[in-house]
Structure 1
Amino acid sequence: MAVCLLLLAGAALLLVNDFGRMQKLNKRLDLAIHGRKDGAAEASKPEGSMLVRAVSSFGMFIARSGLLSRKTLTEMTATLEGAGFRGGRGLGLFVGAKILLFFLLPIVFYLTLKNFMPGALGLCLKLGGGAVAGMLLPEMIATNIRTRHLEQVERGVPDALDMLVICADAGLALEAGIARVAQEISLLNPDLAQELTQTSRELQIGADMRSVMTSLGERTGLEVLKRLATTLIQSLQFGTPLTQALRSLSAELRAEALIRFEEKAGKLPTLMTLPMIVFILPCVFLIVGGPAVINVLAVLNHH
């Protein structure tokens, strides 16, 4: 087992240089798209620790080796893109973490629970449980990150629509308006800004507007962004006023959000019933009936 781990670590370290070249290429593309200032700022950011880079490079080596099917890689990529991880680094880190944890967690389980359930059965349970946990843990973390990412994106869509309406009223084209909204909303909602930035980059390289907007909805899987894509496509196809369509969609989204809040508020009395019975009613019974019980016990002891 130790020899296998050493071989895996050595292969990962050998691939760090390839990962570094990939990072430099991405920086040059960002520099060409956004200009010297943004490229320099991006270049000043740290690339991550050596361990993260090694695990990512090892995962990319496994992904490119053909050991995993194309369908599996597509599903992993979709999950990671939905969680906000773009490019090969996220996929490599995901695959590398699953494989390394598959070998490391059984050892950790065995050393931690060494005195618990000795014997062959206990050893099988520890090693098997560690292997299963190592395979499922990265996917659970990625799914959790994806869920929170999509919640943040959905929460910020009405505000982004209002800002896009302002940009359209100011005379900006749709491509420039999306880029401006992504820039302005980056501090308020970084997750939505990331999705809009990718959409803006796809528009800048000359992709078709319909395909880009459709990709925005399919990439996230959110019904809100699918409706936004449909609204923009219909506005461009039939020539309807863009600002009017965006205002109507923003009003609908805010009304739906208000309805959801009202539904949650209506469920509060039902949700509070069990805590009230468990925590509040016993205290009320003690306060109300406690003195009477004490008096009865005092009378009984007197007699």
Structure 2
Amino acid sequence: MALLYVGVPAFFLLIAAIAMLMLKLVIQEEKLARRIARAGGLSVAAETEADRQPVHIRIIVGLGFAVARSGLLSPKTLADLRHTLRMAGIRDQGALGLFVGAKLLMFIGLPAIGFASLHLVHLSEILQIGLIGGAAIVGLLGPDMIIQQRRKRFVKRVEAGLADALDLMVICADAGLSLEPGLARVANEIRETHPAVAQELTITSNEMRIGNQVRDALTALGTRTGLDSLKRLGSTLIQTIQYGTPLTQALRTLSAELRQEQLTRFEERAARLPVLLTLPMIIFILPCVFLVVGGPAILKVMAAF
């Protein structure tokens, strides 16, 4: 036990030293980036998003990138992590470093905090080991659960605004705009109401403007999020380009299908309400009904005895 009491403070000192080293490396990289920007003729006011992040976030990002560059994670694992973050709508440059660094710190920090806290209460050693192991599992899986919840919210926002975006694309196509300017215009128009859809359409428009293969850009529209509706939109646009079918007719058909699917999902949720309300009615309403109906009879019986 004495070794553990000595090891915990040493562990925290080691973590602090690593954090200071990561902060120093991040600051050096930022200085180098500013010098390159000045050499390229860019203004100092055009700072990156990382320059405006708090110090502790920059430390975590630096720690994550250090782990990613150390070779502990395979290239396939890093590619899967980037794809997972993209599917959740997180496309910042430091997102991978923040995710890996937060996962590492939580995996190490939560058991350390739990170990230090458990000495304030008297528990058996087996229970302490179990709680520390549970804290390590929570720290390891916690960021993944957060990303999954973020992905669900992002997918819901995309599905909620995609039908409106298709209606605007139909209007743009009727007005004579081609596919690339139409996507850019729709993304600009719905940026305030449906920012998730606007983000996806903006990325697709930029890829079509920069790259030579329109088919690849439209295919990536559904691959980034893994959403079936975006995959169908990309395949529909590819078919219109490949076979020369009318763009407005295809978009109207797809928009009607998406709205019908939304209506079907709403009907399914409404059909589930009676089943979900059964248990609250049994717990909260039926005792009150029994009390009102049987209460007077019980009081008369008690008065008779």
Q: Same fold (TM over 0.5)?
A: yes
8 A contact 1:19–1:57 mirrored in 2: no
Alignment of 1:187-266 (within 5 A): 187-266=192-271
Q: 1:22, 1:298 → 2: CA distance?
A: 90
Cα distance change of structure 1 residues 164 and 25 upon mapping to structure 2, 3 Å threshold: farther
Equivalent position SS for 2:177: coil
8 A contact 1:19–1:53 mirrored in 2: no
Cα distance change of structure 1 residues 67 and 179 upon mapping to structure 2, 3 Å threshold: same
Q: 2:150, 2:165 → 1: CA distance?
A: 22
Task: Give the superposition deviation at 1:125.
Answer: 2.6
Equivalent position SS for 1:88: coil
Q: 2:12, 2:128 → 1: CA distance?
A: 17
2:58 counterpart of 1:48: no
Amino acid at match of 1:247: R
Give 4+ residue runs of structure 1 displaced > 4 Å after superposition: 21-28, 39-46
Per mean C-alpha deviation after superposition, the further-off stretch among 81-90 and 9-18 is: 9-18
Task: Give the superposition deviation at 1:63.
Answer: 0.8
Q: 1:268, 1:65 → 2: CA distance?
A: 52
Q: 1:167, 1:21 → 2: CA distance?
A: 45
2:138 counterpart of 1:133: yes
Equivalent position SS for 1:220: coil
8 A contact 2:118–2:128 mirrored in 1: no
Which blocks of at least 5 consecutive residues in structure 1 are unaligned? Answer: none
For 1:232-280, what per-residue CA distance to the aligned partner results, in whole angstroms no more than 9, with x for missing partners?
0000001111111101100011011111111221222222222212211
Amino acid at match of 1:147: K
Cα distance change of structure 1 residues 224 and 25 upon mapping to structure 2, 3 Å threshold: farther
Cα distance change of structure 1 residues 116 and 90 upon mapping to structure 2, 3 Å threshold: same
Which blocks of at least 5 consecutive residues in structure 2 are unaligned? Answer: 1-10
Q: Which residue of 1 aligns with 2:20?
A: 10
Alignment of 1:88-107 (within 5 A): 88-107=93-112
Cα distance change of structure 1 residues 171 and 19 upon mapping to structure 2, 3 Å threshold: farther
Q: Which of 254, 277, 281 in structure 2 is aligned with 1:272? A: 277
8 A contact 1:60–1:88 mirrored in 2: no
Q: TM-score, normalised by structure 1?
A: 0.88
Cα distance change of structure 1 residues 133 and 168 upon mapping to structure 2, 3 Å threshold: same
**Identity fraction in percent:** 49
Task: Give the superposition deviation at 1:40.
Answer: 7.0
| Aligned-residue RMSD, C-alpha | 2.7
Cα distance change of structure 1 residues 225 and 80 upon mapping to structure 2, 3 Å threshold: same
8 A contact 1:199–1:213 mirrored in 2: yes
Count of aligned residue pairs for this structure pair: 293
Cα distance change of structure 1 residues 4 and 40 upon mapping to structure 2, 3 Å threshold: closer
Cα distance change of structure 1 residues 281 and 260 upon mapping to structure 2, 3 Å threshold: same
Q: Which of 43, 59, 64 in structure 2 is aligned with 1:59? A: 64
Task: Give the superposition deviation at 1:118.
Answer: 3.5
8 A contact 1:202–1:212 mirrored in 2: yes
